[in-house]
Amino acid sequence: MSAPFAAGAGYYPGFQKFKITADPAFRRCLLAFVPLMAMLIPGVNIIPPGMRREIFFISIFLVYMFPAAIVIAGGLPVSGWLWYSAAAALFAAATIPIPLGFSYNFLFLIIPSLFCISKVNSANPRVFQALGYTTPAKPGAEIVFTALAAAVLISYVWIGQAFIRKLGVNVLPLNKYIWFAATSALYYGVLWGILYGVLTRRFMEFRYNIILPIALNIFIMFCYWIPSILSYDMKLEIAIGGSIMQSFSCHVALGMTYFYCRTTRPLLAAFVIHYLFIKTVSI
């Protein structure tokens, strides 16, 4: 992939345009999705939609995708991996019992899990910085772009799902919102860290036009979402069209947010807000 530079970018003595495909970080990011899809496609075909499927996703992300993101972002010493193992075990104990019918009181285990994650960050601060979560804060810009991105995502859901499909609003108990927020933060915190904190940042460091990583992220997330969407009882053309539009609206909003903020924090915040809205309109 050799793409045109953004407007205003130029050459200087001794500089040659860099092919992004030659970058090791680019290749590692893309290769991380190959085992994920190899597990995801058969998994969503075997496990029916619903809360039980969430156990499958939680397991995949704790056992494979989160560790893969850590390796891509720089890796950990042995002590860091021990802290991660503790964090993953506590998070699993906090979230997996809920789909099995156990008490939501297990959610309190998220607190010690977050403490262990802080120890992971202490073991190698570059990991979460590379994933875009501990970069220098720009509070004003981040709040504004979080609100804008969330508004775009929610508008798509409301127009395309709640309004057209005439789905009602179903306000959930607080404990369910906490569970959905925790699990969505796991999934998309990892995904946005890889796709934006590492992959999109590399595109921008090499001064490629922002359209290119946005287009790539649209394609990757379409491939990630479509197996789950196809498992629902809906027409094929609606499933594919909906997945394309969802991926497009999502990554145009998130891509421009990252372009201006240079951090993945507002991306994750906006998407979690959008995810909770999805659950509220009973999709």
- Residue 126's Cβ-side half-sphere holds a number of Cα atoms within 13 Å equal to 7
Determine whether 234 is exposed, middle or buried from the number of CB atoms within 10 Å of its CB (0-12, 13-18, 19+): exposed
- Cα–Cα distances (Å) from 42 to 35, 38, 64, 72, 237, in that order, read 12, 7, 16, 25, 21
pLDDT band at 18 (very low <50, low <70, confident <90, very high): low
Mean pLDDT of the region 193-213? 91
Mean pLDDT of the region 55-77? 96
pLDDT tens for residues 22-57? 778 889 999 999 999 999 999 988 888 778 889 999
pLDDT tens for residues 110-156? 999 999 999 999 999 999 999 999 998 889 999 999 999 999 888 87
Alpha-carbon distance of 84 to 90, in angstroms, equals 10
